[in-house]
Structure 1
Amino acid sequence: MTETAVYAAGGVVWRVVDDKLRVLLIHRTKYRDVTLPKGKVDPGEMLAETATREIHEETGIRVALGVHVGVSRYHLPSKRTKIVHYWAAEATDAAIRASAFVPNKEIAAIEWVTPKKALSRLSYPVDVEILENFVRLVDEGVLRTFPIIALRHAKALAREDWEGTDATRPLSPRGKKQADSIVGPLLAFGARKLISSPATRCLKTMTPLSAALGRKVEKNALISQDAWEDGVSDARTVIGHRVRSRKATVLCSHGPVLPDILSELALATGTLRGSYLGSASALEPGAFSVVHLSVDNPGSGIVAIETHAPKV
């Protein structure tokens, strides 16, 4: 991110009503316009958590993010550039029942309309472009997705600073901050199932997320660095189970193991392998790649991959 730009995030919120797709528009009070829900990044936030927070604040609906559908850029009156990231975001029936929108000084109303009507009602061309990207997902039949998230453990103490075994190396002070900072964005993608290498640095990376979800972390030695170094790791078995489950999953592992995890995701979904897998697996400590797969047909290939890194 550059200091001269203003960053924001939001989403194309969607639901199916009587077998018909609807998207959510907001009518803003001050500007008297029609747009998509979005808002500026708060200090310390990562973009994904900004998107879900702003969607909830503006519409009362809690969502989990799906596929990234584009970035809009435009100039503010101050001459600064505003850069807005958008994701597709399903509003489930449960989320709708739990929502409670009340018109306020910022948002006068929210409205569910067909994508076709939304394209004609949006006030700004940049929003139309984002919605057109969303419609392409619909046309390709890959709107409803679930994520498998490959997470590299947060920063650990250096080997030379630790007298115990490598598997018991703890997180460094910076690593602990990283583990805390990625909870919000991982929750934003709907993380539910938590699987980790049994190494201490991986388990401690997952601890804040586990606490936030109230869910236990499942240890799996098949994605540990020890198993990888001994030639007995088995990312294929782990990935196969997760793809078949169609559940949002976080897999916390190690730098040397991550290429195998991404490669097996490509194989399990019939996706052609390429350099993009190397980029998605070359993660810094605490970073993660979100691999979006089709709920209806996981074997149809990887829909999209995006990578996020902590700010600390």
Structure 2
Amino acid sequence: MTVYAAGAVCWRVTNGKVRILVIHRAQRNDVSLPKGKVEAGETLPETAVREVLEETGLAIDLGVPLGVTSYTMPNNRDKVVYYWAAEVSPESFAASSFEPSEEVAGCEWMSLRKAKKTLSYERDVEVLERFQLLIDQGVLRTFSIIALRHAKTIPGSEFDGPDALRPLTHRGRTEANVIVPSLRAFGPSVLVSSTARRCIETVTPFSEAAEVRVRKTPLISQDAFEDGTSDVRHVVAKRVRKLTSAIVCAHGPVLPEIVREVGLAAGGTRQASLSRAGDLPVAGFSVLHLSVDQPGSGIIAIETHVPQLVS
């Protein structure tokens, strides 16, 4: 059985230069990037954030995905590791609480060039090569627009009332709670929702956990979309101009338009990838990564996640 894991290339800027965090593992006598195995019910982004905190004491928000490494472990099991770039804010760095453990003997910040020479495994160096491309393209610092579909809702045929008032089912309420850690992994500080009850109920657990208020707007509601009074472009353009990570929660028919407008606001991107990003299951979300320094350079990366329910 394949073992899945996740980690991050943690970085910060010191005296105008990018520094990378590596960890020294005593038991294995090696130098690597922080990472760890996925636990039951976790999504990969959730794992990456948790493992970095456990191994380094740093609280991070994930940035651009850096791809995957795979290898065979000594026990002949295959291991697949997903990585993200993650800027360590000055506040997070100052609040870090690293203590040496049996697993991690120490953490060290170093230049990208030195990190490539110091890491014990070529697969980790390959991850840094992908990270280097972000620097070369001038798009290292990013923010994200997270397009979220509401969780499972009582069918219209079973609800006696206006469509906008349909509530979540028991499973939907579970989904709304389950996705909170995955959404928080990307550090959104703004929360925009359709005025429909099912959307508001979907984002309420995140709002309460992250202490971010819900900004309700009818401009991305399904009713407005169907009667021609919606204004998805206005809502999306405002979020892109702010250059801060945000969740936009809406409906199945509206989400493809939201994603398309993000692409247009960011300077255009491939239509095929945008179509996939907008085609979401209930409680699924796509993370659209954009450049802070070059917001017109297009969408840097797209990733899609669905809730992991443990039966």
Which residue in 2 is equivalent to 1:117? 114
Which residue in 1 is equivalent to 2:280? 283
Task: Give matches, 1:149-228, under 5 Å.
Answer: 149-228=146-225
Check if 1:145 corresponds to 2:142. Answer: yes
Equivalent position amino acid for 1:11 in 2: A
* CA–CA distance in structure 2, aligned partners of residues 295 and 239 of structure 1: 16
* CA–CA distance in structure 2, aligned partners of residues 77 and 178 of structure 1: 37
Which residue in 1 is equivalent to 2:25? 28
Check if 1:134 corresponds to 2:131. Answer: yes
* CA–CA distance in structure 2, aligned partners of residues 105 and 203 of structure 1: 44
Which residue in 1 is equivalent to 2:70? 73
How big is the shift at 1:232? 1.1
Check if 1:40 corresponds to 2:37. Answer: yes
**Does 69-78 or 197-206 show the bigger shift?**
69-78
Check if 1:308 corresponds to 2:305. Answer: yes
SS of residue matched to 2:98:
coil
* CA–CA distance in structure 2, aligned partners of residues 96 and 272 of structure 1: 34
SS of residue matched to 1:256:
coil
Check if 1:237 corresponds to 2:212. Answer: no
CA contact (8 A) 1:263 1:273 kept: no
Check if 1:12 corresponds to 2:9. Answer: yes
Equivalent position amino acid for 2:156 in 1: R
CA contact (8 A) 2:138 2:294 kept: no
CA contact (8 A) 2:189 2:245 kept: yes
How big is the shift at 1:239? 0.8
Check if 1:264 corresponds to 2:261. Answer: yes
Gap runs ≥5 in structure 2: none
CA contact (8 A) 1:10 1:50 kept: yes
* CA–CA distance in structure 2, aligned partners of residues 7 and 310 of structure 1: 17
SS of residue matched to 1:299:
coil
How big is the shift at 1:8? 0.6
TM-score, length basis structure 1: 0.98
CA contact (8 A) 2:203 2:214 kept: yes
* CA–CA distance in structure 2, aligned partners of residues 20 and 215 of structure 1: 33
**Does 298-307 or 13-22 show the bigger shift?**
298-307
How big is the shift at 1:272? 3.2
* CA–CA distance in structure 1, aligned partners of residues 155 and 233 of structure 2: 29
How big is the shift at 1:77? 2.1
User: Which ranges of 4 or more aligned residues in structure 1 deviate by more than 2 Å?
Assistant: none
How big is the shift at 1:273? 4.1
How big is the shift at 1:177? 1.1
**Does 265-274 or 276-285 show the bigger shift?**
265-274
SS of residue matched to 2:97:
coil
Gap runs ≥5 in structure 1: none
* CA–CA distance in structure 2, aligned partners of residues 235 and 273 of structure 1: 19
SS of residue matched to 1:120:
helix
Paired residues, what number?
309
* CA–CA distance in structure 1, aligned partners of residues 226 and 83 of structure 2: 40
How big is the shift at 1:164? 1.5
How big is the shift at 1:215? 1.9
* CA–CA distance in structure 2, aligned partners of residues 214 and 188 of structure 1: 15
Task: Give matches, 1:52-63, under 5 Å.
Answer: 52-63=49-60
Equivalent position amino acid for 1:26 in 2: I
**Does 8-17 or 264-273 show the bigger shift?**
264-273
